[in-house]
Amino acid sequence: MYSILFVDDEPAITQALKRMLRPMRREWDMHFVQSGKDALGYMEDNPVDLIISDMRMPEMNGAELLGEVIKRYPSVIRIILSGQSDQEIILKTIKPAHQFLTKPCDAVTLRQAIKQTLALKSNLENPALQNLVSKIESLPSLPRSYHEIMQIVQKEEGSLKEVAEIIQNDVSMSMEILKYVNSSFFGLYKEVTSIRQAVSLLGINTIQTLVLSINVFSQFDKSKHYAINIHELWEHSFFTGLFSKAIIADLGMDRNLQEDAFTLGLLHDIGILILATQIPEKYKEVYEEAKRSNLVLSEVEYQIFDTSHAEVAAYLIGLWGISSNLITVISTHHLTRPMPDESNVFSIAMQSADIFSQNLMQKNQGLRPEEFPTALLNNKTFISHRERWEQICMEIYGRKSDE
């Protein structure tokens, strides 16, 4: 039974949480305290898997509490509850939480967030991964606009107009979205002049993923000297997303699956971004060893960490609550073992697009491009489609000269 600690200084909120979560008491061991001091005291004598804290509390606020939790109990997953007015301040000034939930938080949303988090902890129960993640003080948080779009998508009456209005409220994000949508890479037949038009042409999931990835990459200072080039990583991820989407389309999959493939490609290497920026000195060792030994990054990561950026990416995506169907594909995109079955088209598309992107860009952070693993080379789907997929990817990348 997982142990969850709730921290809120308002008795009425605490009682509401107890009532809200009463149906889960046979699945979760839940304890409720009303201050940061009490929370730390409880954790001294009791194991805790997940702590959920209010932001605004006297003496020790939620940020300060979770900062202490990082120091003392780094393996504990941390969620912070905050009012809408606090959200922007939190995102800019504190980094101790793995995930943010907006107050008031309804029972369904809260239970779903907890279940996703605990399922992730169970499914990625690799001690090496847990140890590596515990060293990372700050994981990028989902932008508020992404949360709002998710809520609209889940509503039966949700509309393209509502999604467009959310994005339009952020002028800089709107400009970024239109810039990428109007790039020749998407191959649209006309200029897109509005966000609503962009959502209609590309689909909500594609636009939603662009919002997420642009926001996450923008959270890091590109002028700092990390082991990796952040702009190059974004460009590689962008093309991998476009290539994955095109490959899935070539296999006759529907628009929703094509959008999922774009999401996979755009987020597949986000673990590299996290490791390079959050443990920069240690990751510089990984990079230098990969360069010296002429190995790919994931091989050296396994040597040093006993896990890789692929698992870190899957962990983060799981915390964000993004589709669990995508987690396995991302966490295994560097494994060389045989594909589970011939129908695992997302894994095939993901690995193919990743390597096509490295080779066409002729860039891989200064390291040698990866080779197609034997398991992929022996895959019937890959064998029968490889030449056409490569040609499709070359055509997409060839539009770069038109930019």
Domain CATH for 327? 1.10.3210.10
Q: How far is CA 242 from the centre of its chain?
A: 17
Residues above pLDDT 90, as percent of the chain? 27
Verify that 50 and 168 share a domain, yes or no.
no
Q: CB under 8 Å to 355, separation ≥6 — which residues? A: 369, 370, 371, 372
Q: Please check whether residues 212 and 280 belong to one and the same domain.
A: no
For residues 230 and 164, membership in a common domain is answered with no
Q: Answer for the pair 296, 366: CB distance below 8 angstroms, yes or no.
A: no
Q: Is residue 227 part of a domain?
A: yes
Cβ atoms of residues 62 and 7 within 8 Å: yes
- Per-residue model confidence as pLDDT tens digits over 303-334: 999 889 988 888 877 777 676 667 778 887 88
Radius of gyration of the chain from its Cα atoms, rounded to whole angstroms? 22
In this predicted structure, what is the pLDDT of residue 109?
Answer: 76
> How many other β-carbons are positioned within 10 Å of the β-carbon of residue 183?
16
CA separation, residue 267 to residues 146, 151, 157, 322, 361 (Å): 15, 21, 28, 11, 18
129 found inside a domain: no
Distance in angstroms between the alpha carbons of the first and the last residue of the chain: 55
Same domain, 345 and 251: yes
135 within domain boundaries: no
Q: How confident is the model at residue 81 (pLDDT cuts 50, 70, 90)?
A: confident
- What average pLDDT does range 125-143 have in this prediction? 72
Same domain membership, residue 239 and residue 379? yes
Task: Tell me the DSSP string of 187-204.
Answer: --SS---SHHHHHHHH-H
Q: Which of 6-15, 169-178, 338-347 has the lowest mean pLDDT?
A: 338-347
Residue 75's pLDDT band, with cuts at 50, 70 and 90, is confident
CA separation for the pair 399, 403 (Å, rounded): 7
Residue 393: C-alpha distances to residues 187, 386, 398 (Å): 12, 11, 8
The arithmetic mean of pLDDT across residues 204-208, rounded, is: 82
Give the 3-state secondary structure of residue 82.
Answer: strand
Indicate if 226 and 211 belong to the same structural domain: no
Listed ranges 77-91, 284-298, 325-339; the one with the highest mean pLDDT: 284-298
Same domain, 107 and 178: no
pLDDT value at 92 more than 50? no
Other CB atoms within a 10 A radius of the CB of residue 373 amount to 17
Q: Are residues 115 and 154 in the same domain?
A: no
Q: Using one digit for the tens of pLDDT, what is the confidence trace for 227-249?
A: 888 889 999 999 999 999 999 99
Q: What is the CATH number of the domain that holds 46?
A: 3.40.50.2300
Task: Give the pLDDT of residue 38.
Answer: 95
Structural domain ending residue among the three candidates 185, 201, 218? 218
Order the strands of the 50-54 sheet from edge to edge. 28-33, 2-7, 50-54, 77-83, 99-103
User: pLDDT at position 206, please?
Assistant: 84
The pLDDT mean for the chain works out to 82
Q: Does any domain span residue 134?
A: no
78: helix, strand or coil: strand
Q: Which of 198, 218, 238 is the last residue of a domain?
A: 218
Top-confidence residue, 147 or 30: 30
Is residue 11 located within the same domain as residue 111?
yes
Supply the DSSP string of 100-142, one letter for each residue.
EEEES--HHHHHHHHHHHHHHHHHT--HHHHHHHHT----PPP
- 249 within some domain: yes
**Residue matched to tokens 């952070």:** 365
Specify whether 210 is located in the same domain as 228.
no
Q: How many domains does the chain have?
A: 3
Average pLDDT score over residue span 99-125: 72
Residue 384 lies in a domain: yes
Cα 349 from Cα 241, distance rounded (Å) = 10
The Cα 303–Cα 283 span in angstroms is 12
158 and 249 assigned to the same domain: no
Point out the domain boundary residue: 92, 123, 154: 123
Residue 311: its H or E element: helix 309-320
Q: Is the same domain home to 290 and 322?
A: yes
φ and ψ at 252, to 5 degrees? 85, 15
pLDDT in tens, 334-362: 866 555 554 478 889 999 999 999 999 88
What pLDDT was estimated at residue 170?
81
- Residues 42, 36: Cα–Cα separation, whole Å: 10
Asked if residue 130 is part of any domain, the answer here is no
For residue 128, being part of any structural domain is answered with no
Residue written as tokens 């992929």? 376
The domain containing residue 182 runs over which residues?
Answer: 142-218
The confidence score (pLDDT) of residue 94 equals 46
**Statement: residue 68 has pLDDT above 60:** yes
Helix (H, G, I), strand (E, B), or coil: what is residue 53? strand
pLDDT at 120 over 70: no
Q: Which residues is 52 bridged to in the sheet?
A: 6, 79
